[in-house]
Amino acid sequence: MNWQLARPWRVVFGIGMATLVMCFFSCSSHDTKFQQYFSQGQSLYEKHCSNCHQKNGEGLKRLYPPLANSDFFKKNLPTSICIMKYGIAGEMKVNGVNFNKPMPGVPSLTELELAEIATYIANSWGAEEGRTTIEQVTEALKSCKTQ
Amino acid sequence: MKKEFFAITFIVGVLLLAGCSTKPARLPFFGERTFNGKDTLYHTIAPFQFIDQDSVAITNATFKDKIYVADFFFTSCRTICPIMKTQMLRVYEATQNMPDVLILSHTIDPEYDTVALLHDYANRLDVKSSRWHFVTGAKDSIFKIAQTSYFATAMEDKTEPDGFIHSGAFLLIDKKGRLRGKYDGAREEDVNRLIGDIKILRQE
């Protein structure tokens, strides 16, 4: 018996393998980048944010608003990125509850770090919104009121 | 000779074990103690008068025959104070049904933390002013009482990110104004110990 496949089969086989390999690489590179952002984001979150917003993202009563399932964060990603860097003061509503305590920003956060923190928040505590990119952060920072 | 030696070792061993396994029945006393010829006198919290979130004067008399937990913080602090408040809220909730236990939080930034601000802060924490007093007053008196009565660090330092150095200590005071415990208010396990000690103190 001939060990070689018939020519049409060889083509099919080749294309199949190539697709598999490409798929593997694109999926895994997406995954590793996501994982990197997520785990960096987690340690940055625990360093700069969880004092107030808590490790479980639930906030503290009407003093510190929740980030877990926050309608504000979901609807206002660019504004939320501005808040992280520059802080915010004044009244705001999160999930129907009024908050009004100034939040100090962390101006030293880089665009990459902001993307990582946003990725962590957007994919924690039940949410799965995918990765926030640096391009999104650059764009968001242009819109910040306080610079 | 040999028998006696074993008997003694055995007795000493039992005594040692017994000593280890019995919990300290009493909490320690902090600070200097003096003997007046009849009784030992312990260090007590010096007289004070501050104003709480409801503009009510708070003095040592407020805590007459009460156990209380004291701490030092300020509302705009972003480092350990939010953690301390999360932990103090646990103390508040654990002592909900103990009418003889109160909480006293002093601001160390009275210029910024006005009565109105403390009122809003307490309100947002959803706590009753009858059980948890947030007080403000003359800055010097607050720093002084922190250091000399509660043995807690609190001072201004412009080089710190928040402008103050302060310890995150929670202090436990008994019904006679004596300091009976010191805990790290930023550490959950330490605060668990505090909650246990409050129960021990209530038995005295």
Residue B101 in domain? yes
Cβ–Cβ < 8 Å for B36, B156: no
The dihedrals phi and psi of A141, each to the nearest 5 degrees, come to -65, -25
What is the Cα–Cα distance from B61 to A27, expressed in whole angstroms?
Answer: 68
Name the token pair of B49. Answer: 């008068």
Q: Residue A10 — pLDDT band, cuts 50, 70, 90?
A: confident
CB contact under 8 Å between A52 and B78, yes or no, is yes
Cβ–Cβ < 8 Å for A44, A117: yes
Residue B19 in domain? no
Residue B8 in domain? no
Q: What integer is the mean pLDDT of B162-167?
A: 73
CB contact under 8 Å between B78 and A104, yes or no, is yes
Place of tokens 């948890």: B132
Cβ–Cβ < 8 Å for A75, A88: no
More confident residue, B19 or B200: B200
Enumerate residues 6+ apart whose C-beta is below 8 A from B198: B67, B69, B91, B94, B95, B98, B101, B172
Q: What integer is the mean pLDDT of A67-95?
A: 97
Chain B interface includes A26 (CB < 8 A): no
What is the Cα–Cα distance from A107 to A87, expressed in whole angstroms?
Answer: 8
Chain A interface includes B124 (CB < 8 A): yes
Residue B40 in domain? yes
Q: Nearest C-alpha of chain B: how many angstroms from A144?
A: 22
A11: enclosing H helix or E strand: helix A7-48
What is the Cα–Cα distance from B164 to B171, expressed in whole angstroms?
Answer: 19
Residue B140's CATH number = 3.40.30.10
Q: In the prediction, which pLDDT does A27 show? A: 52
Which residues of A, range 75-114, sit inside 8 Å of B by Cβ? 99-102, 104
| pLDDT tens per residue across span B51-73 | 999 999 999 999 999 999 999 99
Q: In the prediction, which pLDDT does B5 show? A: 61
Chain A interface includes B119 (CB < 8 A): no
- Number of domains chain B contains: 1
Q: In the prediction, which pLDDT does B143 show? A: 92
Q: Residue A53 — pLDDT band, cuts 50, 70, 90?
A: very high
What is the Cα–Cα distance from A133 to A57, expressed in whole angstroms?
Answer: 22
Residue B4 in domain? no
* pLDDT, chain A, mean: 89
Enumerate residues 6+ apart whose C-beta is below 8 A from A30: none
What is the Cα–Cα distance from A89 to A75, expressed in whole angstroms?
Answer: 19
What is the Cα–Cα distance from B59 to B198, expressed in whole angstroms?
Answer: 21
Which residues of B fall within a CB distance of 8 Å from A64?
82
| pLDDT tens per residue across span B68-114 | 999 999 998 888 889 999 999 999 999 999 999 999 999 999 999 99
Name the residue facing A52 among B82, B89, B125 (closest C-beta): B82
Its pTM surpasses 0.95: no
Q: Nearest C-alpha of chain B: how many angstroms from A29?
A: 37
Radius of gyration (C-alpha) of chain A in whole angstroms: 22
Question: Residue B150 above 70 pLDDT?
Answer: yes
DSSP per-residue string spanning A121-138? HHTSTT----PPPHHHHH
Give chain A's domains with CATH numbers. 33-142 (1.10.760.10)
Residue B165 in domain? yes
The dihedrals phi and psi of B196, each to the nearest 5 degrees, come to -65, -40
Q: Tell me which residue range forms the domain holding B101.
A: 33-202
Task: Tell how far CA B178 is from the center of its chain.
Answer: 10
Residue B142 in domain? yes
Residue B73 in domain? yes
What is the Cα–Cα distance from B121 to B115, expressed in whole angstroms?
Answer: 10
Cβ–Cβ < 8 Å for B150, B157: no
